[in-house]
Structure 1
Amino acid sequence: MRTYDFAAVGLGPFNLGLACLTEPIADLDGVFLEARDDFSWHPGMMLADATLQVPFLADLVTMADPTSSFSFLEFLKRTGRLYPFYIRESFYPLRAEYDRYCRWAAAQIAGVRFGRHVHRVEHDGEAYVIRARLRNGDTETYRASRLVLGTGTQPHVPAAVRGLDGPMIHTADYLGHKAALQAKASITIVGSGQSAAEVYLDLLEDIDAHGYHLTWATRSPRFFPMEYTKLTLEMTSPEYTAYFQALPLDTRDQLLREQRQLYKGISGDLIDTIYDTLYRKQVHGEVPTRLLTNTELSGAGWDESRGAYDLELRHTELDEPFALDTEALVLATGYRPHVPGFVESIADRIRWDERGRYAVAAGYTIDDREEIFVQNAEEHTHGLVAPDLGMGAFRNSIIVNAMCGREVYPVEERIAFQEFGVPARSEVPV
């Protein structure tokens, strides 16, 4: 059986970026296994006007290799859209445009195998044996010296509504259920961040035509804009990542909670658009909508006879409970990392922290042999850079260099003006 240098499981933007960066390397042989039948990036949130929250330079390859033939600018040139993008004068591609770009890149990679659901991974003493199930029920077996796990995150459903009946959806499935939502008399969005804001605005635009009542409830004390100042962006740097990694586990977890607005907030332009839309609609009369801050979802029930949810809410600052009825419930509660089931059979080869998470090393490995790499499963060890599209090429550069045993892609060690730890003693001229 052929033994690949590595097998990558999952084909989101990060492993797709790895595919693009490894494609021209003659002495590195990899295969990419994806359960879906084609590339698809957040299809349930592919709203017409939605843009990325990062500039086009945060594509699959540019920050590692600006000359790559898999860059976003190359895609625009090949598809005759480079000049329109230039005239548009925006650094931020449309989300649908980014999805098309990724599909274009995936179609050029010989090692990509769609429709392969990996269900078991073992180690035979020399290499990893990966078994993948096809749509027709057949099984294929692959063998590789290393693994790159890019299985992504899963939609998070809060404990308060887990297992609840009724037409409850997560924003991940929004577009497929939009028509059914708009047929209801009332819709409530629970959560915060960019997805919540995009869904709220999308439903707000159509509120007059459908006549539903729209509520947006967030636990946050306000609708936080994502902080995007230049010195704050320096926290997506090798220096801050190294500083974060060296912190105690409890400190890292606390910082992640405190830093949510740095990478899970709402774009300022979107917040302003929501306000302007509310103002424009209010000119013609009261808008049947409510924006509730400091509101935590503590429980819920589904009343089949009324076709409605009874939401139990609590005002966090006043510590007072209140109730809300709604016919439709949309969870904008984000995503959480998960350990795929196939890892169980190689769990003894993996390092785990005291909370049952991958113990990810600086070089993105989770085993002492440095054979198993992870993509976007290291937020608890590497900080806010883990899900950042702009740092994907940086992480992949480190992974590629480690697998090749040489510097294929130069890796920046210092890019920030500021220092994050205790500064070294220095003599200041007087």
Structure 2
Amino acid sequence: MRPRSPLLLALKLSVVLGSLWTLFLLSGPTIDFNPTYILRYRWLEYTGDDGSPESVCNCTAIQQGDEETLEQTKILTITKDFRKSIQIPDEYYINATQDCRNFKLSRKYLTFPLSQEEEDFPLAYSIVVHQKVQNFERLLRAIYAPQNIYCIHVDNKSEGSVISAIEAITSCFPNVFLVSKRVTVVYAAWSRVQADLNCMADLYNASTKWKYFINLCGQDFPLKTNLEIVRALRYLRGGNSMESKRMPEHNYRFTNSFEVVNGNLKVTGKQKTPPPFNLPILSGGAYIVVNRGYVRSVLEDHRILTLIEWSKDTYSPDEFLWATIQRLPGVPGSNWLGAKHDMSDINAIARLVKWHWHEGSRGSLEAVYPKCEGNHVRAICVYGVGDLQWMLAQHHLFANKFDIYTDPVAIYCLEKYLRQKALADLH
């Protein structure tokens, strides 16, 4: 890492001072404006008196796995009054963003790069959302940096308040925008891929500066700070990271033709032709970390465009398309087709997911990871506070799934941990 230059530190302090002066002007003369307030960056911290209901919880003890604290927190999160108190209605975001400057200050968005290293390595994000604005906004706040660029795809079938709230939030940021072409996303259908493809195209055309593309959904959350993500991506040295491994050649997902009927994916009874160019289809996941060249290939390579057309009537193409492209010769950052280059989701850095059938008790020789401390949706763990200690020990950049209405403390403590870690790197 390059040493911090006196000029960079001076510029950084001047930006902090400018932002704090803005806060002072907005808040009026009642603020005790003093050097200690500035130097400790209190306006950016998640503190015990920030007014959020979750702040009564001891995040440090939760991250350390203290059993008594975990049990008390779990009891708190199921009480009716607490669950009601943590919910923020969509209308709040619509009204709060009428004053964008105050919204960003009150929600503690980072409005300047925290290091030259991060500023020199901008990232591009696609975020697919269909509900729970509060989940989305906290995700955006956790990953937001002014040098990055963000494309937001809101499902066509989302409620009007969801669409309006997300439109309002994005309007407050010059580097966050709504996708140019929205689609109606159907579970396991091609539309899930199309949503990311539309954002890929918009991001690619919007800026030439970003280095890596990361796709997310509204129930993801980072496990690393922006600086840690940048350093992990630099370590890839131009490579990509995603699940990509062999699967049976005659899998029903792509040997049968499917179509959307009344909002659901149904098998047509027709057999599909073999994949174009005799391509072997690889198993993978919907979430990827890829360089700009990979995105260019997806948008322009005739082999990939042909594969895309062939994939449109398959089942859950997001779980094989990216993985297959990753093993095509000539795609920037790709791996060879040989089985030794197969990669599991545990070894990739894109996404940490706990599948129900891979969980087990401590000491189990068969289990891939410990049991879910939250609940399961479609066999995927929706994380609880008891999962935090384990998650933070993993190498993945993001984790899925989180739900503000299931366990808000898990998100709150993760937010607080990441912000404090990011600010600690300033010193």
Q: Does 1 or 2 have the higher relative contact order (CA < 8 Å, sep 6+)?
A: 1
Which protein is richer in strand relative to its size?
A: 1
Structure with bigger gyration radius: 1
Which protein is richer in helix relative to its size?
A: 2
TM-score, normalised by the number of residues in structure 2: 0.23
TM-score, normalised by the number of residues in structure 1: 0.23
